[in-house]
Amino acid sequence: MTYTMTVSPDFSPDYIAGWYIFNTWLQKKTGEGIHLKLYDSFDVQRKDIIDDKIDLIFANPYEAAMLIREKGFLAIAAPADKPDEAVICVKDDSDIQTVEDLKENCTIAMADDPQVNSVGMIMLEPADLNAKNISIEKQKNYVLVAKNLINETAEAGFFLLDAYDNMSKFVKSQIRPIITSEISVIRHIFLVGPKLSNKAEDIRALLNDMHNEDKGLKILQSLGFEAWENQTQEDSEFMLDLIDTLSD
């Protein structure tokens, strides 16, 4: 039997090759056939999750609620020391220094990332801004969000901190962060679906030990982190409780 693994569509394109190498490594280690299927849209990926077509997933924290509480996935690992933080940026020469300088009817550019957008909206609350009194410019990726700022078609933009950090020097020189979240416990997690539940503990052990072998460490570095960290079901349940409080 061949299982299907997928990755949250918000991963950086720099890591595509890394995920294919990781898939090959996991197949060798588990002795199972695993096909890697990548998506460029959360909606299409979500439909396949609902249709039970996915068995392993490196998921965005906002997808984790459905995967754990509705589809019976088990959370087993998360990248160590790599929480999902959001940053709000403005154009470098903008007069805006703090969130409170943003006013009603301003335009905010954002990509299709539910986690970043939710935290970004929370960081706008002290300025009395919400989805009803701002204009939203939805973009396909963070480079286009930055372009909105540089071209002055948006006053501010939401970025995944990791995506901001990995932008070119040229782009970064033209935009300026005004606030960065420090939430710490919200992060992408690796989950195993019900069809592989009898292998979940084996996969957990493999991932927790991966950084201890040279080849494993190199693969992890090609994914943008140094080690997996154990993610207990309670860690995930608490993360979902926390996300729930951010949804209003």
Cβ-proximal residues to 70 (8 Å cutoff; 6+ apart), any chain: none
Across-strand partners of 229? 78
Whole-angstrom distance, CA of residue 143 vs CA of residue 8? 18
Under rule CB under 8 A, residue 127 binds other proteins: yes
136-175 mask for other proteins (x: CB under 8 A)?
A: ----------------------------------------
Whole-angstrom distance, CA of residue 224 vs CA of residue 233? 24
Number of Cβ within 10 Å of residue 175's Cβ equals 23
Cβ-proximal residues to 200 (8 Å cutoff; 6+ apart), any chain: 74, 76, 192
At closest approach, how far in Å is the CB of 1 from other proteins?
A: 31
Of 86, 87, 89, 64, nearest to 74 by C-alpha is 64
47-86 mask for other proteins (x: CB under 8 A)?
A: ----------------------------------------
Whole-angstrom distance, CA of residue 11 vs CA of residue 9? 6
Under rule CB under 8 A, residue 101 binds other proteins: no
Handedness of CA 214, 216, 222, 224 (dihedral sign): negative
Under rule CB under 8 A, residue 246 binds other proteins: yes
At closest approach, how far in Å is the CB of 112 from other proteins?
A: 22
At closest approach, how far in Å is the CB of 179 from other proteins?
A: 5
Alpha carbon separation from 37 to 45, 64, 89, 122 (Å, rounded):
9, 18, 32, 32
Under rule CB under 8 A, residue 248 binds other proteins: yes
Size of the site for other proteins (CB under 8 A): 23
At closest approach, how far in Å is the CB of 53 from other proteins?
A: 28
Under rule CB under 8 A, residue 232 binds other proteins: no
- Which residue from 104, 125, 165, 213 is in contact with other proteins, where contact means CB under 8 A? 125
At closest approach, how far in Å is the CB of 147 from other proteins?
A: 24
173-212 mask for other proteins (x: CB under 8 A)?
A: ------xxxxxxx---------------------------
Across-strand partners of 158? 88
Under rule CB under 8 A, residue 123 binds other proteins: yes
**Locus of tokens 């933080």:** 85
Site of interaction with other proteins (CB under 8 A): 100, 122-123, 125-128, 179-185, 234, 237-238, 241-242, 244-246, 248
